């Protein structure tokens, strides 16, 4: 079963790579400019993310707030106003839907964190990867996240029955930098109610994304639901 899933994933990556080959003659600067325009358009239009005719999420028009405003709001985003904070250094946009009711990852602490997620290729306007389907229902993405005096790092656990979906797809066990950007602001714990589970949405530019996005210069939209132990 695992070999079959890995083969399917490899075929998907190959298909994406074939499309990307047509862009190889485009300079990196041009690719970055195109990415910026795609993200700007995504922020301003009334976005509905679709997959096979079904609605994944009505993103809507996004209200961008500064890091200063974010801090002044106790590091929260107003979901009613569809606020996303933009981190100037990385270009990541983040909306905290729920902080969670567990605890923050403390300094010099390593926490085991589980995630249900989907990854939407903004450039390709398509769902690219998800572990919310039946094949992975018993295998959430498991990460070991460390806080080293405010600097977060992490690796995907590849030891479960199906391994790490991110690792199987992209070949890197390092947690996506865009995901790590959310970790300082979430209270992660085991929860019996969905209301208490942390939930975050991210727009991640290629420079902070998974290996294939970094190589081929495209941004992704993520929705993550996270618990910790």
Band of residue 134 on the pLDDT scale cut at 50, 70, 90: confident
In CATH, the architecture of 2-228 is Roll (3.10)
Segment 9-42, tens digit of pLDDT: 544 544 454 444 444 558 999 999 999 999 999 9
Cα–Cα distance between 18 and 213 in angstroms, integer? 14
Cα–Cα distance between 225 and 186 in angstroms, integer? 11
Cα–Cα distance between 6 and 13 in angstroms, integer? 11
Measured in whole angstroms, the distance separating CA 43 from the mean position of its chain's CA atoms is: 16
Segment 88-110, tens digit of pLDDT: 999 999 999 999 999 999 999 99
Cα–Cα distance between 85 and 18 in angstroms, integer? 34
Q: Which two tokens stand for residue 52?
A: 């096979």
Cα–Cα distance between 112 and 103 in angstroms, integer? 12
Band of residue 75 on the pLDDT scale cut at 50, 70, 90: very high
The partner residues of 48 in beta bridges, in order of sequence, read 58
Segment 142-193, tens digit of pLDDT: 999 999 999 999 999 998 777 899 999 999 999 999 999 999 999 998 876 6
pLDDT score at 4? 45
């Amino acid at each position: 079963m695992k070999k079959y899933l890995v083969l399917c994933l490899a075929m998907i990556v190959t298909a994406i790579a074939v499309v990307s080959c047509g862009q190889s003659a485009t300079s990196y600067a041009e690719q970055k400019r195109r990415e910026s325009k795609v993200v700007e358009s995504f922020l301003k239009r009334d976005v509905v993310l679709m997959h096979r005719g079904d609605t994944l999420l009505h993103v809507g028009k996004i209200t961008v707030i500064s890091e200063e405003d974010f801090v002044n709001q106790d590091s929260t985003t107003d979901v009613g106003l569809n606020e996303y904070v933009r981190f100037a250094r990385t270009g990541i946009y983040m909306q905290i839907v729920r902080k969670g009711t567990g605890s923050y990852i403390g300094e010099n602490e390593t926490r085991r964190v589980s995630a249900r997620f989907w990854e939407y290729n903004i450039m390709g306007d398509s769902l690219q990867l998800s572990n919310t389907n039946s094949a992975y229902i018993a295998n959430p993405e498991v990460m070991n996240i460390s806080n080293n005096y405010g600097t977060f790092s992490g690796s995907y656990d590849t030891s479960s029955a199906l391994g790490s979906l991110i690792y199987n797809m992209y070949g890197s066990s390092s947690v996506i930098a865009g995901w790590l950007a959310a970790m300082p602001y979430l209270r992660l714990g085991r929860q019996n109610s969905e209301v208490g589970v942390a939930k975050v949405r991210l727009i991640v530019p290629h420079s902070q994304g998974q290996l294939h996005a970094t190589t081929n210069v495209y941004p992704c939209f993520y929705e993550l639901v996270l618990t910790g132990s």
